[in-house]
Amino acid sequence: MRIMKAGEFKLEREVEYGTPEQNRTVQDILERVRTEGDAAVLELTERFDKVKLQASELRVTDEEIQAAYGRVEPAFVEALRRASANIRAFHEKQKRSSWMDVQPDGTILGQVLRPLRRVGLYVPGGKAAYPSSVLMNAIPAQVAGVPEIVMVTPASTGGQAGIDPYILVAAAEAGIREMYRVGGAQAVGALAYGTATIPPVDKIVGPGNIYVALAKRYVYGVVDIDSIAGPSEILVIADDSADPGYIAADLLSQAEHDEMASAILVTTSTALAEAVRAEVARQLEPLPRKAIAEQSIRERGAILIAASDDEAVATSNRLAPEHLELLVREPFGWLGRIENAGAIFLGPYSTEPVGDYYAGPNHILPTNGTARFSSPLNVDDFVKKSSVIHYSKEALLRGGEDIMTLAKHEGLEAHARAVQIRLEKEGKRT
Amino acid sequence: MRIMKAGEFKLEREVEYGTPEQNRTVQDILERVRTEGDAAVLELTERFDKVKLQASELRVTDEEIQAAYGRVEPAFVEALRRASANIRAFHEKQKRSSWMDVQPDGTILGQVLRPLRRVGLYVPGGKAAYPSSVLMNAIPAQVAGVPEIVMVTPASTGGQAGIDPYILVAAAEAGIREMYRVGGAQAVGALAYGTATIPPVDKIVGPGNIYVALAKRYVYGVVDIDSIAGPSEILVIADDSADPGYIAADLLSQAEHDEMASAILVTTSTALAEAVRAEVARQLEPLPRKAIAEQSIRERGAILIAASDDEAVATSNRLAPEHLELLVREPFGWLGRIENAGAIFLGPYSTEPVGDYYAGPNHILPTNGTARFSSPLNVDDFVKKSSVIHYSKEALLRGGEDIMTLAKHEGLEAHARAVQIRLEKEGKRT
């Protein structure tokens, strides 16, 4: 693992737009699903997922969901339930109320908050089918009060057009009752435009491959989407009080995700830097995903030596990591200076997997430096606001001339007249 | 103005992706600005805006801003100040605090809210340069606490590389001190990537033509953007207590925006429908923007007859209008059933221009049916959240095995080990 000066480190980041061919493919799929509905969904599912289905077989049955519980270990279900309870409790604290501002003259201004009506959750197939992500996507929507949460996931997962039972159990535990065995861009199209079998949604969330990501970009505007996730990242700020073994383990837990993941330590202690380097090499050996983690550490990992605590903080703020661990003596003393980070883990017991699975905060976090401007997935993402304006006669009489002045300046005479006709009726203008 | 049954009305909506050529042009401009910086900005400004500038002339000087005050009427400045005060007061009520949940075992979970550091506001040139939009974009950012708000607007506006003095005054009143005379896709590129003269921002807001809209789509991910605005819309639900003259005036205030704007009345009263049709024809005649309003009313406007109040509400919810006026006897009795609307205007004195200019709620609203899932521009749009996780030793010892169970199921052994190494150190595992 390379050791270098913090000021010299730069993380290359790119927004993924796909190749022209991938874009064409996705546009074609979306257009077919939009115009042909179920027929296109079924044909594309046969072509890409090698599963031949009737429209009536798209929806996962209650029996399959029940049967899935018999195929997973009880310890898994129990762990999932405790995780769900923690996630639900944290997200409950994000809920907000509608409000109004009642003014002395009778004017009422306000903001009404309502949950979205229907949300679609995309769950990838194969190894990327993470039960934890099902919880993290579905529970905030459920806490927000979304009445219809629907899951789509590719048919081939688990073989025989079945779905991974762990995914089914996670979805059921998160309160999802409506699930369809369809994946890829065709699933995104079905959720956005609706088919005879799959009614359209208002928002699509959840990770997927490049085709899914591109499809989400294209349907944005027809429906809402969540952010497009980039490679996972951790940055650890540590001082010489930190345990090098803990740091190495935490860096590796990020590196094992994929070769593009980045794991970075920033410290003012060169002794710690050396110790962590040795620990990373030692702990890397027995990992099942050693090849992935090793490449990530070699190509995207770094131990950065900062000249001061200030430089350590500035480096972290510059990189805007998805996950930030503060393994320092007084971590809360640092919190106020952290400007950009998706989730901040303070102290030795707050290892990143605590947040990935269990503590309650969401693990769907801004990647690729977007913590500069975006936020962990949260209840607000499933709520829409409407402004409320109930102007009193008195308020209109008082402000009417100002409104007409501003509207007329902008050349919008009919705007001015909509006020004027009311002032005239009240005898305040002729 | 056509009168038809509510159930038969459909509004065609399309998401604007631009032509392939427009997309290529925008990509080329962005790439040039990204790699060549100021040189590209200046050359493109000369080419598109016909204004030849040095880099040192891009920034609007304090003297120009001061001089602008001498070029606008005092009544305009006073109206603008009262509008600003109302807008600021409303948005102040949207502010939220960071919070933490301190648990009995010492665990602290929470959410830190911080304003974005730097936001760019695009203001179009020519007739689309609306001082009211400057206020509506800038004030929420300012209330959120964004320390750097920067405005860009095309150089040619107002001639001689000057900027419309009304825009300068509005920006100054909204607290903006950093302004650049650059427009189009090159301005979006400069804000996203930064140049020697124009430091990069974290988010770009504000309306623009198709090139600006496409450029915002492309830089999304590098920076955040606001939503892409579609044509403006109003839907009025009225009963026979409503004044046909008011309704017609309000419909026309929307129709005058542009030919694509849509103005719709939904009512159960055929007598009202006929009266409004006559009033629209009468009030249309003297309007300076008659041609635009007439085309909008003819092609995109409609008077819809609903069989019941329920159908009227369902029609409105289906169309998800940007602006909704409830010109009915007991408008607050209807509010709870309105699912999708950007801003809801209740009662006879709450004509839409009250919201466009003055009352305080934002006039930047979800268009094109996106009120199903999106919200008026608000303070949250300029705030980012970070999750905070400070797990106690006790919490980790209690939940550690669950975390390991979940991580191992997902094949993420290094995640499990990051917990295990800590449990081992505490003697809870070997």
Task: Identify the pLDDT of residue B299.
Answer: 93
Q: Please, how many CA atoms are within 13 Å of residue B334, restricted to the half-sphere of its CB?
A: 29
Note if B73 is an active site residue. Answer: no
Is residue B66 in a domain? yes
CB contacts under 8 A, B 102-121 vs A, are 107-109, 111-112, 114, 116-117
pLDDT beyond 60 at B207:
yes
Residues of A in Cβ contact (< 8 Å) with B411: 127, 288-289
Residue A164 shares a structural domain with residue A103: yes
| Contact present, A301 and A1 (Cβ < 8 Å) | yes
Rounded CA separation B359/B351 (Å)? 11
Residue B388 touches chain A, beta carbons under 8 Å: yes
Task: Name the residue with tokens 């996507």.
Answer: A137
Residue among A130, A394, A358, A293 at smallest CA distance from B402: A358
Rounded CA separation A385/A374 (Å)? 19
Is residue B249 in a domain? yes
Note if B390 is an active site residue. Answer: no
- The residue out of A169, A196, A225 marking a domain boundary is A225
Rounded CA separation B44/B58 (Å)? 13
% of chain B surpassing 90 pLDDT: 87
Residue B194 shares a structural domain with residue B323: no
Tell me the per-residue pLDDT of A300-311, one tens digit each, with 9 for 90 and over: 999 999 999 999
Q: What's the CATH number where B249 sits?
A: 3.40.50.1980
Residue B85 touches chain A, beta carbons under 8 Å: no
Tell me the per-residue pLDDT of A145-184, one tens digit each, with 9 for 90 and over: 999 999 999 986 544 557 899 999 999 999 999 999 999 9
Task: Identify the pLDDT of residue A17.
Answer: 77
Task: Identify the pLDDT of residue B193.
Answer: 96
Residue B235 shares a structural domain with residue B265: yes
Confidence of residue B430 (pLDDT cuts 50, 70, 90): low
* Pairing of β A108-115 and β A383-390: antiparallel
Rounded CA separation B207/B203 (Å)? 13
Rounded CA separation A312/A327 (Å)? 12
Is residue B7 in a domain? no
| Contact present, B205 and B376 (Cβ < 8 Å) | no
Residue among A385, A378, A386, A382 at smallest CA distance from A119: A382
Copy the structure tokens of residue A333: 């003393």
Residue A341 Rama label (left phi>0; alpha psi -120 to 50; beta):
beta
Sign of the Cα pseudo-torsion (B386, B387, B391, B396, in order):
negative
Rounded CA separation A101/A109 (Å)? 5
Residue A312 shares a structural domain with residue A261: yes
- Strand partners of residue A383: A115
Residue B152 shares a structural domain with residue B292: no
Helices (H) and strands (E) in chain B, counts: 16, 14
- The residue out of B178, B201, B225 marking a domain boundary is B225
Residues in binding site of B: 122, 186, 209, 232, 254, 257, 323, 356, 410, 415
Is residue B34 in a domain? yes
Task: Identify the pLDDT of residue A430.
Answer: 64
% of chain A surpassing 70 pLDDT: 98
| Contact present, B185 and B154 (Cβ < 8 Å) | no
Residue A31 shares a structural domain with residue A148: yes
CB contacts under 8 A, A 339-358 vs B, are 339-358
Residue B148 shares a structural domain with residue B210: yes
The A203-205 sheet, strands edge to edge: A178-180, A148-152, A118-122, A203-205, A224-225
Q: What is the mean pLDDT of chain A?
A: 94
Size of interface A-B (CB pairs under 8 A): 367
Rounded CA separation B4/A252 (Å)? 65
Is residue A3 in a domain? no
Tell me the per-residue pLDDT of B135-152, one tens digit each, with 9 for 90 and over: 999 999 999 999 999 999
Rounded CA separation B310/B69 (Å)? 51
Residue B268 shares a structural domain with residue B314: yes
Tell me the per-residue pLDDT of A310-339, one tens digit each, with 9 for 90 and over: 999 999 999 999 999 999 999 999 999 999
CB contact under 8 A, A390 and B358: no
- Strand partners of residue A262: A233
Burial B93-129 (b: 16+ CB within 10 A, else e): ebeeeeeeeeeeeebbbbbbbbbbbbbbbbbbbeeeb
Tell me the per-residue pLDDT of B387-405, one tens digit each, with 9 for 90 and over: 999 999 999 999 999 999 9
Note whether ipTM > 0.85 here.
Answer: yes
Tell me the per-residue pLDDT of A235-279, one tens digit each, with 9 for 90 and over: 999 999 999 999 999 999 999 998 999 999 999 999 999 999 999
Q: Please, how many CA atoms are within 13 Å of residue A99, restricted to the half-sphere of its CB?
A: 12
Rounded CA separation A51/A42 (Å)? 9
pLDDT beyond 90 at A429:
no
CA A413, B340, B97 angle in degrees (round to 5)? 95
Copy the structure tokens of residue A204: 């699509």
Copy the structure tokens of residue B356: 């466009």
Q: What is the CA radius of gyration of chain B?
A: 26
- Strand partners of residue A210: none
Q: Which of A26, A86, A388 is the best mutation test for B, with the most CBs of B within 10 A?
A: A388
Tell me the per-residue pLDDT of B102-141, one tens digit each, with 9 for 90 and over: 999 999 999 999 999 999 999 998 777 899 999 999 999 9
H-run or E-run covering B198: none
| Contact present, A33 and A41 (Cβ < 8 Å) | yes
Tell me the per-residue pLDDT of B314-360, one tens digit each, with 9 for 90 and over: 999 999 999 999 999 999 999 999 999 999 999 999 999 999 999 99
Tell me the per-residue pLDDT of B50-103, one tens digit each, with 9 for 90 and over: 888 999 999 999 999 999 999 999 999 999 999 999 999 999 999 999 999 999
Is residue B383 in a domain? no
H-run or E-run covering A164: none
Contacts of A335 (CB under 8 A, 6+ apart): A326, A344, A346, B112, B388
Residue among B334, B337, B357 at smallest CA distance from B346: B334
Task: Identify the pLDDT of residue A19.
Answer: 87
H-run or E-run covering A37: none
Please give the single-letter amino acid code of residue B372: R
Sign of the Cα pseudo-torsion (B405, B411, B413, B418, in order):
negative
- Strand partners of residue A233: A262
Copy the structure tokens of residue B169: 């005054």
Contacts of A73 (CB under 8 A, 6+ apart): none
Q: Give the Cβ contact number of residue A199 at 10 Å.
A: 14
Residue A367 touches chain B, beta carbons under 8 Å: no
% of chain A surpassing 90 pLDDT: 87
CA A372 to chain B, closest CA, distance in angstroms equals 6
Copy the structure tokens of residue A10: 């730069």
Copy the structure tokens of residue B53: 């500038």
Residue ranges making up the domain that contains A235: 230-373
Please give the single-letter amino acid code of residue A262: S
| Contact present, B335 and B346 (Cβ < 8 Å) | yes
Rounded CA separation A189/A214 (Å)? 11
**Long-range CB contact pairs, A52-60, < 8 A, 24+:** A53/A155, A53/A161, A53/A181, A55/A196, A55/A197, A56/A197, A57/A161, A57/A181, A58/A180, A58/A181, A58/A182, A58/A197, A58/A198, A59/A178, A59/A179, A59/A180, A59/A181, A59/A197, A60/A163, A60/A168, A60/A179, A60/A180, A60/A181
CB contacts under 8 A, A 261-320 vs B, are 283, 287-289, 293
Residue A69 shares a structural domain with residue A94: yes
Residue among B238, B356, B243 at smallest CA distance from B305: B238
Reduced to 3 states (helix: H, G, I; strand: E, B; else coil), residue B178 is strand
Sign of the Cα pseudo-torsion (B398, B403, B406, B411, in order):
negative
Give mean pLDDT, residues B164-187: 95
Residue B290 shares a structural domain with residue B324: yes
CB contact under 8 A, A406 and B346: no
The A3-5 sheet, strands edge to edge: A3-5, A302-305, A262-267, A233-238, A323-327, A343-346, B383-390, B108-115, B99-102
CB contact under 8 A, A354 and B222: no
Copy the structure tokens of residue A5: 């000066």
pLDDT beyond 80 at B33:
yes
Strands (E), A103-232: 108-115, 118-122, 148-152, 178-180, 203-205, 224-225
Residue B200 shares a structural domain with residue B162: yes
Tell me the per-residue pLDDT of A50-108, one tens digit each, with 9 for 90 and over: 888 999 999 999 999 999 999 999 999 999 999 999 999 999 999 999 999 999 999 99
Copy the structure tokens of residue A343: 């989730």
Copy the structure tokens of residue B119: 């936001």
Residue among A323, A309, A308 at smallest CA distance from A264: A323
Is residue A181 in a domain? yes
Residue among A56, A24, A30 at smallest CA distance from A44: A30
Residues of B in Cβ contact (< 8 Å) with A372: 116-117, 202, 384
Confidence of residue A228 (pLDDT cuts 50, 70, 90): confident
- The residue out of A225, A243, A269 marking a domain boundary is A225
Residue A356 shares a structural domain with residue A238: yes
Q: How far is CA B51 from CA B64, B136, B317, in A?
A: 17, 28, 47
Q: How far is CA B16 from CA B20, B230, B374, in A?
A: 12, 8, 17
Query: How many distinct structural domains can be found in chain B?
Result: 3
CB contact under 8 A, A359 and B79: no
Rounded CA separation A330/A327 (Å)? 9
- Strand partners of residue A223: A220
| Contact present, A17 and B214 (Cβ < 8 Å) | no
Count of residues making up chain B: 430
Is residue A217 in a domain? yes
Task: Name the residue with tokens 């002032």.
Answer: A423
Residue among A251, A297, A259, A244 at smallest CA distance from B414: A251
- Strand partners of residue B384: B114
pLDDT beyond 90 at A229:
no
